[in-house]
Structure 1
Amino acid sequence: MLSTHYYPSPCGVLKLQTDNTAVKGITFCDKIEENSVAQPEIMSKLIKAMDDYFAGNMPDPGLALAPEGTDFQVKVWKELCQIPFGRTLSYQDLAIRLGDEKVIRAAASANGKNPIAILIPCHRVVGKNGKLVGYAGGLSKKKWLLAHENRIANGVMELF
């Protein structure tokens, strides 16, 4: 059974979802709705991870993530987790890391279907020329997340 908690972040409302053991989803939404009555311990850990992230600290890397998708999507999402905090990677480089430059469109599609925003950092993938392209939460949120991470990781005031 999924538990839901609406989290008011500095870049928009996040819908956090967990089961009893793992994070199942983090998505941007338009408004805060009613939280689930039952909130398992993993939800408390996820809320703390979000607090840490937005306060400029690295979230707990031991937080269990359980995104649901195809084998290829899960492979892409695992690769996204290898992109260092404060850094970006092009879609082409992502495809190369996956072992086949020809899977660029499939990798981009899987990136866009990531159900666990921020902790599976799909926002760190940019166009080959470094331009911001595509983000399920909207480009303004992608820009905010990248600038936030850049400030923390590199002591830089603005990325763009």
Structure 2
Amino acid sequence: MVVRQLAEKEGTNVEFAEFQGLVDALLAEHASKGYPPEIRILDEVRADDADIEAVETQLGARLPEKYKQVLTTYGGGMFGFVDLLPVRSPKDGESDVLTENTGEFAVAGFVQVAPVGSGDMWGFAVHDGVCAEAVSMWFHDTGEIQFESGDFLEFMATRGVRAR
């Protein structure tokens, strides 16, 4: 599927191989600009299956498969143009999925996975202990949850990789 077509099709279920191609293109474009090594486009704070299982248990919610696949393959942190929360913070005091979804930061029926920068968060609505495949946005000032994208890879392709 052509990158432009992928980004323009609302509700497209992106397959992982397509997504990998988009990430490879993003990394190649970044490398072609000759940035020094400390200027990265991916933070790559990877999670393993045990990390994800522990977070799912603590949150009482099963995370979407495509989201888990991204976390184990690429990791959290900066991911192109999205700040994807890592499953577990690599440093004390930094945000991660668990800290953003427990205690005073918890939003009932919603798992937050990426801050927007305004206090709002992208994440997944939770029904009966299972996260929806669709990505939604939680608005901190109203508490409203609004649909954003049909699945996590579509969201990351259009928002993180900006395949247009």
- Mark yes or no: TM-score above 0.5: no
TM-score between the two structures when normalised by the length of structure 2: 0.31
TM-score between the two structures when normalised by the length of structure 1: 0.31
User: RCO (CA 8 Å, sep 6+): is it higher in 1 or 2?
Assistant: 2
